[in-house]
A and B are shown apart, each in its own frame.
Chain A
Amino acid sequence: MQPFTTHTGNVAPLDRANVDTDQIIPKQFLKRIERTGFGQFLFFDWRFLPDGSADPAFELNQPIRQGASILLARRNFGCGSSREHAPWALDDYGFRAVIAPTFADIFFNNCFQNGMLPVKLDEADVDELFRRAAAAEAAGHPYRLTVDLRACEVRDDAGFTRSFAVDPFRRHCLLEGLDNIGLSLKHVDAIAAWEDAHGLGPLQGGAPPQGGAIG
């Protein structure tokens, strides 16, 4: 997994609440069996008009937001389906961090599995970031933020600094880019002991019956 330590980049404000994973990556793009290449489909139904051209009204299509790598959104971001294609698509498009007041649980988990950092800030702080982004863009330049996982801090170069909370274990895994499965397999003895204590017996090597009605 790619590590996340500290990242400075342009902010794309998406002033919407309850952005669900069906919007982040619509179902017609879930048929692929790879983990990569989903960025082109990110927010597809919002991003593109029926004729396939970019919708100039959509937030991410604003020229000033091209190349943005930090997404700023409202509460309950990533609700709905568990599809990990959502963080895959955000990552593939170029986002490294998402800032919102609250996130849906499964999406929040899925980000950490992909070296992407979801940052929860207070609603008032998110409001302030939306204001600062709007002011910067009105002045003709993109709004830049630094998301620092070492210091657990979000800051700009104009005096905004807020710390955020993150689970220490997840922070550690993200900072180091650790393979979660490899880490868990270090506890294989505890897993085997649990199985033994629950009467599961040794691992079965053989194949269970395939297909057909269950006997």
Chain B
Amino acid sequence: MAPPATGGYIAGSGARFPAHGGRRSTPKPSVIPAMPAPRTLLDKIWDDHLVCSPDGEQPLIYIDRHLVHEVTSAQAFEGLRVAGRRVRRPEATFATPDHNIPTTDRRLPIADPISKQQIDTLRSNCREFDVRLFDLGDADQGIVHVIGPELGITQPGMTIVCGDSHTATHGALGALAFGIGTSEVEHVLATQTLRQSKPKSFEVRVEGELHPGVTAKDLVLYLIGRLTTEGGTGYVIEYTGPCIRRLGMEERMTVCNMSIEAGARAGMIAPDQITFDYLRGRDLVPKDFDRAVAQWATLPSDPGARYDRSETFSGGDVVPQVTWGTNPAQVVGVDATVPDPASMADPSDRSSASRALEYMGLESGTPIAAIPIDRVFIGSCTNSRIEDLRAAASVVRGHTVSSRVRAMVVPGSGRVKRQAEAEGLDRVFTAAGFEWREAGCSMCLGMNPDTLAPGERCASTSNRNFEGRQGKGGRTHLVSPAMAAAAAVAGHFTDIRQWHYH
């Protein structure tokens, strides 16, 4: 049997070109062995995208999709301009402003002139280099990692890059997707390839299933806590096992999204019927969808394929998670207490933990559920999709936000916002006292006016609790959407498994 061809479609100007035309099945003109060695999902995508591996150089791999946002692209386009280069495949390049935009009334001008300049620069670069832009006024604008899958830009078997570390999100659909720096953005724009040594593969297998009230966010926070912030460095993680298979498409995106917080540049999940059902009918998927599915179905790792490293976890061990420190691996269950640095064996962990507790204004031994909060942020590329908003709304329905809390919901895209409004979720939130905003990154990183004041404590559905991430001096606790919603109502963390749903 020939090694399977993988997916990978270029869509542009309404035309869609099948990646393989069924003409060839392997990038190397080698003799196909009768029994090819079993390959992982990563191996298959890698082999298919290897352009060349010249002697003494790092290999060049082809990039199927390049996503671009305003914060990490201006210098790259400027580099092209200075060198007199063009964008090699404008039709494979998609841009949207998301990081540095207001989430309030979009009809008003952007107040900050430097922010405005950055967004105007993206606009003029997209015009000059023929790149498709989902601009602020566009119905399909949104966080780049939300709109990619939503529009069908992201497809199984593709290589996808973006000048953003949470590009790992797209791996949920069975793509190899990772973040790159601005110089590499320029490289991809100019060549449609990337210099890349093949990463090692790491199977993170999750057995069993999650208990009611425990979400994909809790699972990934739990995994990061076990793997540590650098456990995945140098690896691409493939999440496998029955617990992962049971997750819906958006839950899988939440898991892959945070792979980078464990140090892995990419996380991926082999495509299956859930993936295909999610993609069917989306705007930019291949016209001959059934043929594409037949190709995509050959992507999952072959039985017996070898990973460079494997670890197994049990979904049943996971309880709702709350971070207590200033990196995502500093996390415990909601039923636990703030840990004592003195109990940590590693000196570097100990000093990190002490520093974190000081920054967070927390005492060891305090029950997590006794920590009062001031702000709630439901949003970000981790948890701003429709299922996240449904989960949060079902917690909030019939309740009122605590008088000590200011809470906001920021949908991940214009489409998510319209869908939520069609379902009446916006009214559930606003009736309870939440603010309901326009799509963007917002308080996930606080580049726009949505920030924490010094000392404010926030239950956030985003992905980073670094010092100052949501505003200088702000204190971030990462949680699931349901846990954030419950904290908004209670005024402190509370175990969602005991929640009183109306």
Contacts and interface: CB of A to CB of B under 8 A. Distances in A.
B387 interface: no
Nearest to A194: B51
A156 interface: no
Contacts, number: 227
Interface string A79-108: 111111001000000000000001111100
A212 B138 contact: yes
B132 A31 contact: no
Interface in B260-293: 260, 263, 265, 283-284
Contacts of A18: 229-230, 327, 352
Interface string A176-215: 0000110111011011001101111101101111111111
A48 B29 CA distance: 59
B151 A27 contact: no
Nearest to B469: A22
A77 to B, nearest CB: 10
A114 B183 contact: yes
B211 interface: no
Interface stretch (A53-61, A63-71, A142-150, A164-172): A164-172
B114 interface: yes
Contact of B229 (A79, A168, A209): A79
A19 B229 CA distance: 11
Interface string A2-43: 000000000000011110101100111011111100000000
Given A194-B51, A204-B90, A106 B265 contact: yes
**Which of B85, B138, B164, B233 is packed against the most chain A CB atoms within 10 Å?**
B233
Contacts of A195: 62, 192
B132 A181 contact: no
B197 A167 contact: yes
Given A31-B100, A106-B181, A113-B183, A167 B121 contact: no
B467 A191 contact: no
A74 B347 CA distance: 11
A170 B135 contact: no
Nearest to B121: A33
B249 interface: no
Nearest to A186: B54
Nearest to A113: B183
A208 B91 contact: yes
A185 B191 contact: yes
A207 B183 contact: no
Given A23-B467, A34-B75, A206-B13, A181 B190 contact: yes
Interface string A151-168: 000000000000000011
Nearest to B92: A200
A199 B20 CA distance: 6
A209 B127 CA distance: 10
A208 B181 contact: no
B464 A80 contact: yes
Contacts of A209: 13-14, 132
Contact of B467 (A22, A28, A34, A170): A22
A169 B196 CA distance: 11
Nearest to A74: B348
B230 A203 contact: no
Given A35-B75, A82-B165, A185-B191, A110 B181 contact: yes
Contact of A181 (B83, B99, B181, B327): B83
A185 B188 CA distance: 11
Nearest to A111: B181
A85 to B, nearest CB: 8
A83 to B, nearest CB: 7
Contacts of A110: 181-184
Nearest to B141: A211
A200 B17 contact: yes
A118 to B, nearest CB: 13
A210 B127 contact: yes
B31 to A, nearest CB: 17
A180 B20 contact: no
A200 B230 CA distance: 38
Given A31-B100, A210-B127, A104 B284 contact: no
Nearest to A87: B181
Interface in B59-102: 60, 62, 71-72, 74-75, 78-79, 83, 85, 88-91, 99-100
28 contacts: A16-B352, A23-B467, A23-B468, A26-B468, A27-B469, A30-B447, A31-B117, A74-B348, A82-B165, A82-B181, A106-B179, A109-B181, A110-B182, A113-B183, A169-B57, A169-B58, A180-B187, A181-B85, A184-B195, A187-B60, A190-B52, A194-B62, A198-B8, A200-B19, A200-B89, A203-B89, A208-B91, A213-B140
Given A83-B71, A206-B13, 7 more contacts: A31-B112, A50-B454, A169-B57, A207-B130, A208-B130, A211-B134, A213-B139
The 5 A-B pairs at the shortest CB distance, nearest first, are namely: A113-B183, A33-B74, A110-B181, A84-B181, A199-B21
Interface of B: 8, 10, 12-14, 17-21, 23-24, 27, 51-52, 54, 56-58, 60, 62, 71-72, 74-75, 78-79, 83, 85, 88-91, 99-100, 112, 114-115, 117-118, 121, 126-127, 130-135, 137-140, 151, 163-165, 179-184, 186-187, 190-193, 195, 197, 229-230, 233-234, 260, 263, 265, 283-284, 327, 348-349, 351-352, 355, 445-447, 454, 464, 466-469, 472
Interface of A: 15-18, 20, 22-23, 26-28, 30-35, 45, 50, 74-76, 79-84, 87, 102-106, 109-110, 113-114, 167-170, 172, 180-181, 183-185, 187-188, 190-191, 194-195, 197-201, 203-204, 206-215
